Amino acid sequence: MGVPLSASCYRRPGRVTGMLVALTGVGLSAAAGLNAYVPFLLVALLARLTDVVVLPDPLVWMESWWAIGVGTVLLVTDVVLDKVPAVDSVNDAVQTLLRPATGGVVFAATSAAERVEGSTQVTGFVAEHPWVPFVAGGAVALAVHAVKATTRPVVNAATGGLGAPVVSTIEDGAAVGLSLAAVFVPVLVAVLLVAVVAGAVLVRRRARRRRPPGAAPG
C-alpha cells in the first residue's frame, strides 16, 4: 500500500503537522465550494502522473482515466454555464449537492496521512471516525458555495448580467489558486481564504449599491 494523500497532498522532508493537514483539507474543500472539479482534477492528475500525490486505497478510483475524463467534461461544462446570467444560478442550484460532496472527498483524502507529528492520535481518530473529515470538508465547501450562490444574483441584477462572466472568471482563478496553495504551500490557505471572503463582501456591497431600484435578481 502506498503512502496515502498526506497533509499537504505531497511528500516532503520531515513530518507534517496537524495544522498543515487541516489547512490542506480546508483549502481543497473551499476550492470545491467555488468549482467542484478544479481540486478534484488537480489531485487526480497529480496522483495519476506524478508521485506528488499518493491516494489511499478507497480513493484510488479518482486517478483512473475515466474519472479524470468525466471530471474534465464536467469542468468545461461548469465553466461555460457559470458565465451565462440566470443560467449560472440554475447551475449553482444543481451544484448544491456536488460541491459539498467533492469537498468532503478531498478533505477525507487529505486526512488519510499516515504520520502526523510522529503521533497516531490524529490518524487514529480519523480511522475510528472516518465520517468526520468528510463532513468537515462538506461543511466548508457548502459554506463557500452558499456565499457564491447568493452573491451571483445580486451581481447580475446590479450589472444587467454583464458582471457574471467577470465574477465567474475570478472565482475560477480563486479555485485554482486555493487548490495549488493547499497542495504545495498550505500555509497560504488562510491568507487566500481571507482574501476570498473579503472579495466576496466587497463585490456584494458594491453590487447592492449599483442595483437599480426594483430590479429582480438574475
Question: Each residue's pLDDT tens digit in the chain (218 positions)?
Answer: 333 444 444 444 434 456 777 888 899 999 999 999 999 999 999 889 988 777 878 888 999 999 999 999 999 999 999 999 999 999 999 999 999 999 999 988 776 544 333 445 555 556 666 778 889 999 999 999 999 999 999 889 888 989 999 999 999 999 999 999 998 888 899 888 888 888 877 876 776 666 555 554 55
How far, in Å, are 36, 40, 54, 79, 146 from residue 74 at the CA level? 9, 11, 24, 8, 20
Q: Judge whether 6 lies within some domain.
A: no
pLDDT of residue 210: 62
Q: Judge whether 217 lies within some domain.
A: no
Q: Give me the number of domains the chain comprises.
A: 1
pLDDT of residue 193: 87
Q: Judge whether 98 lies within some domain.
A: yes
Residue 51 carries which DSSP code? S
Cell numbers describing residue 149:
450562490
pLDDT of residue 181: 93
pLDDT of residue 14: 38
Q: Say what angle helices 163-184 and 131-159 make with each other, to 10 degrees.
A: 150
Q: Where does the chain show beta strands of DSSP type E?
A: none
89: domain range?
18-210
Asked if residue 71 lies in contact with residue 37, where contact means CB atoms within 8 angstroms, the answer is yes
Give SS3 for 116: strand
Q: Judge whether 1 lies within some domain.
A: no
pTM confidence score: 0.81
Q: Judge whether 206 lies within some domain.
A: yes
Q: Judge whether 11 lies within some domain.
A: no
Q: Judge whether 216 lies within some domain.
A: no
Q: Judge whether 174 lies within some domain.
A: yes
